[in-house]
Amino acid sequence: MSDLILAIDQGTTSSRAIVFAPDGRMVAKAQQEFSQHFPDDGWVEHNPEEIWKVTTQVCRDALDQLSDDQRVLGIGITNQRETTVVWDKTTGTPTYPAIVWQDRRTAGHCRQLASDGLEDDTRARTGLLLDPYFSATKIAWILDNVEDARAKAERGDLLFGTMDTWLIWKFTGGKVHATDATNASRTLLYNINDQCWDPVLLERFGIPEAMLPEVLDCAADFGTALEGLDGVELPIAGVAGDQQAAVVGQACFEPGMIKSTYGTGCFALMNIGETPRLSQHRLLTTIAYRFDGKPVYALEGAIFVAGAAVQWLRDKLGIIKSAEETEALAESLSSNRGVYLVPAFTGLGAPHWEPDARALICGLTRDSGRAELARAALEAVCYQTWDLFKAMEEDAGERPETLRVDGGMVANNWLLQALADIVHVPVERPDIIETTALGAARLAGLQLGLFGDLNDLAQHWSLDRRCEPQLGDQERDVMLKGWQAAIERARNG
Ligand X SMILES: O=P(O)(O)OC[C@H](O)CO
Ligand Y SMILES: Nc1ncnc2c1ncn2[C@@H]1O[C@H](COP(=O)(O)OP(=O)(O)O)[C@@H](O)[C@H]1O
Binding residues, as ranges, are 12-14, 16, 81-82, 133, 242-243, 264, 307, 311, 408, 412
Cβ proximity to ligand X, 301 vs 430, nearer residue: 301
Q: Which stretch binds ligand Y (CB under 6 A): 191-199, 319-327, 442-450, 484-492?
A: 319-327
55 makes contact with ligand X (CB under 6 A): no
242 makes contact with ligand X (CB under 6 A): yes
Q: Count of residues binding ligand X (CB under 6 A)? A: 12
Between vectors from CA 230 to CA 226 and to CA 232, what angle results, nearest 5°? 55
| Residue list, annotated binding site for glycerol | 81-82, 133, 242-243
| Residue list, annotated binding site for ADP | 12, 16, 264, 307, 408, 412
Least distance in Å: CB of 186 to ligand X?
A: 7
324 makes contact with ligand Y (CB under 6 A): yes
What's the residue count for the chain? 493
Here's the x/- map for ligand Y, 235-264, by CB under 6 A: it reads as ----------------------------xx
Q: Count of residues binding ligand Y (CB under 6 A)? A: 17
Here's the x/- map for ligand X, 198-237, by CB under 6 A: it reads as ----------------------------------------
Between vectors from CA 296 to CA 290 and to CA 301, what angle results, nearest 5°? 115
Q: Which stretch binds ligand X (CB under 6 A): 259-267, 355-363, 390-398, 417-425?
A: 259-267
Q: Which stretch binds ligand X (CB under 6 A): 51-59, 164-172, 191-199, 241-249?
A: 241-249
| Residue list, annotated binding site for sn-glycerol 3-phosphate | 12, 81-82, 133, 242
Answer with the entry of ligand Y, ligand X, none that 307 interacts with (C-beta below 5 to 8 A by kind).
Answer: ligand Y
Here's the x/- map for ligand X, 79-98, by CB under 6 A: it reads as -xxx----------------
131 makes contact with ligand X (CB under 6 A): no
- 370-396 and 413-423 helices cross at what angle (nearest 10)? 50
Here's the x/- map for ligand Y, 11-40, by CB under 6 A: it reads as x-x---------------------------
Return the residue nearest ligand Y (CB atom). 408
Answer with the entry of ligand X, ligand Y, none that 242 interacts with (C-beta below 5 to 8 A by kind).
Answer: ligand X
For residues 266 and 306, is the Cβ–Cβ distance under 8 A? yes
Using CB under 6 A, which residues numbered 386 to 425 contact ligand Y? 407-409, 411-412
CA dist 94 to 55, 84, 138, 144, 157, Å?
Answer: 17, 11, 14, 15, 12
Chain contacts with ligand Y (rule: CB under 6 A)? 11, 13, 263-264, 307-308, 310-311, 323-324, 326-327, 407-409, 411-412
Please report, as ranges, the residues that interact with ligand X according to CB under 6 A: 11-12, 80-82, 101, 241-243, 263-265
